[in-house]
C-alpha cells in the first residue's frame, strides 16, 4: 500500500512539474518546477527498488545541478524578479501565497516519503516484507560490483572526473596581466 501511494504521488509530481517547466515563462519558476520533477523521478526510482539510482538522483541532480542552475540564474542578474504589481505599488516581495505553500507542501511530502522508503529499504532493522518491498535493495550489490568486478572502470571514471575538475579550475582562474 505504501509503495502504491508513493508511486501515485511521485508520478503526479513528476508529470505536473514537467508540464509546468514547459509552460512557465519565468526561468526561476522553471528551475523550481524542475526540482520538483527530479524529486518525483527519485520517488519513482524508489518504488521500483532502485535505491542506489534514487539516492544518486537526489544527490547529483537535485542537490547539485538544480542548485547550480538557480545560482547561475540569480548571479547573472538578467531581469528583476519582482512582479509588475510590486513595481507599480512599491510592495516588498512576498514569500508566496496559498498555492505556492500547497505546492511546497506536496513536494515536501513526496520527498519525505521517498526518503522514508529509501531508509526503510536500506536499513537492516526492518524486514523487507513489512513495508511491501518486493524488490531487494541494490546498494550492496552495486557496491560489491564497483569494488570487485568493475574496479578499473570505477577508477578510470574517477581520474576522468578529477581531470575535468582540474581543467575547469585552470580555465576559471584569473589571468595575470
> What are the residue ranges spanned by the domains of the chain?
2-137, 138-177
Give the confidence band of 40 by pLDDT, cuts at 50, 70, 90. very high
Average pLDDT for residues 95-112, to the nearest whole number?
81
Give Dmax over CA atoms of the chain in angstroms.
Answer: 66
**36-50, 65-79, 107-121 — most confident range:** 36-50
Q: Which of 81, 96, 65, 68 is nearest to 28 (CA)?
A: 81
Query: Which residue is it, cell 505599488?
Result: 89
Q: Any idea which fold 2-137 has?
A: 1.20.120
Please return the burial class of 142, using the count of CB atoms within 10 Å of its CB with bins 0-12, 13-18 and 19+. middle
- 106: its cell numbers: 506536496
- 125 vs 138 pLDDT, higher one: 138
Does the pLDDT of residue 128 top 60, yes or no? no
pLDDT digits (tens, 9 = 90+) for 57-92: 888 888 888 888 877 777 776 555 556 666 666 655
What are 94's three cell numbers?
Answer: 512576498
- pLDDT value of residue 129: 53
Amino acid at each position: 500500500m505504501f509503495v502504491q501511494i508513493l508511486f501515485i504521488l511521485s508520478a503526479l509530481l513528476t508529470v505536473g512539474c514537467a508540464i509546468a517547466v514547459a509552460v512557465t515563462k519565468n526561468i526561476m519558476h522553471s528551475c523550481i518546477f524542475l526540482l520538483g520533477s527530479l524529486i518525483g523521478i527519485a520517488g519513482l526510482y524508489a518504488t521500483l527498488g532502485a535505491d542506489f539510482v534514487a539516492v544518486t538522483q537526489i544527490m547529483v541532480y537535485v542537490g547539485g545541478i538544480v542548485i547550480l542552475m538557480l545560482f547561475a540564474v540569480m548571479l547573472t542578474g538578467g531581469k528583476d524578479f519582482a512582479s509588475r504589481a510590486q513595481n507599480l505599488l512599491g510592495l516588498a516581495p512576498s514569500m508566496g501565497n496559498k498555492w505556492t505553500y500547497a505546492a511546497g507542501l506536496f513536494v515536501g511530502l513526496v520527498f519525505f516519503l521517498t526518503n522514508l522508503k529509501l531508509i526503510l529499504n536500506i536499513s537492516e532493522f526492518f524486514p523487507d516484507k513489512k513495508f511491501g518491498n518486493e524488490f531487494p535493495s541494490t546498494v550492496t550489490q552495486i557496491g560489491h560490483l564497483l569494488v570487485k568486478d568493475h574496479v578499473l572502470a570505477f577508477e578510470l571514471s574517477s581520474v576522468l572526473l578529477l581531470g575535468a575538475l582540474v581543467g575547469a579550475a585552470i580555465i576559471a582562474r584569473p589571468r595575470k596581466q
